Structure 1
């Protein structure tokens, strides 16, 4: 396969992957979209952050993230607290309910990946993982 053809195939297959990921997110937990899952996962990893931090990290408009955060807050999955170092700033925290739902959805997603990749060799899995890490790292590098 020629490089141009390979790039076309990669683009097409990544689009299919993204569409399936969005569609399956609703099946894993009806109230938790893929974006919401991603934001909760980021909060779990960082401990706390501001809406502006989330917007900057995901290169999204602050108003878009604010709407998602408001929905997560209404659902009782996150809460806003005053920043102890700067009382003018509010930081986001996962609630216990948010941690439980995130853990459930994460386990469901892992099970789905394990099922899809069950017949892959260890070598193929390692190579695929390395390529994904490399691709995502390149996406964050300045052009």
Structure 2
């Protein structure tokens, strides 16, 4: 039976491999998007639009990093800025129609990849994996 230290090393190695694949896939979705910019665009959809400060807080990034990333999204035509109806000095960031299309295509590609990689897994194994991932991510 492996030691806890060996098990943690395996988890670290496998999550690192997972992250590397995710970064590689993000680059294939759009060659000028990093995993961070792609994730920001995805977060805008999940929240129905948000402020740059919300992105900074959610991703634990400084405002200048968020500013550079959102400028890239805007320059690529993947994001639009709207006046915040609650505070006309602020802006709400939302994916553009092109940004939404890109996210839909990426979602379909990811789903197909997961279906292929997990095709021979039993349903109870998938449920356990989903539960473990939810548990891991909720203990932020």
Question: Are 2:77 and 1:76 aligned?
Answer: yes
- Equivalent pairs counted in the alignment come to 139
Partner of 1:96: 97
Please report how far the alpha carbon of residue 36 of structure 1 lies from its aligned counterpart in structure 2 after TM superposition. Answer: 2.0
Question: Are 2:105 and 1:117 aligned?
Answer: no
Mapped contact 1:29–1:105 kept (Cα < 8 A): no
Residues 23-32 or 65-74, more deviating:
23-32
Question: Are 2:136 and 1:135 aligned?
Answer: yes
Mapped contact 1:51–1:65 kept (Cα < 8 A): yes
Partner of 1:45: 46
Q: Secondary structure at the match of 2:139?
A: helix
Partner of 1:107: 108
Looking at structure 2, the residues matched to 54 and 16 of structure 1 have their Cα atoms a distance apart, in angstroms, of: 25
Please report how far the alpha carbon of residue 24 of structure 1 lies from its aligned counterpart in structure 2 after TM superposition. Answer: 2.1
Unmatched runs of 5 consecutive residues or more in structure 1? none
Looking at structure 1, the residues matched to 30 and 72 of structure 2 have their Cα atoms a distance apart, in angstroms, of: 15
* TM-align CA RMSD: 1.2
Partner of 2:22: 21
Please report how far the alpha carbon of residue 86 of structure 1 lies from its aligned counterpart in structure 2 after TM superposition. Answer: 0.8
Please report how far the alpha carbon of residue 31 of structure 1 lies from its aligned counterpart in structure 2 after TM superposition. Answer: 3.4
Q: Secondary structure at the match of 1:87?
A: strand
CA-to-partner distance for each residue in 1:59-108, whole Å, 9 max, x for gaps? 11111111110000011111111111111111111211111111011111
Partner of 1:8: 9
Question: Are 2:60 and 1:62 aligned?
Answer: no
Return the TM-score normalized by structure 2.
0.93
Please report how far the alpha carbon of residue 115 of structure 1 lies from its aligned counterpart in structure 2 after TM superposition. Answer: 0.8
Which segments of structure 1 move beyond 4 Å, counting only runs of 4 or more? none
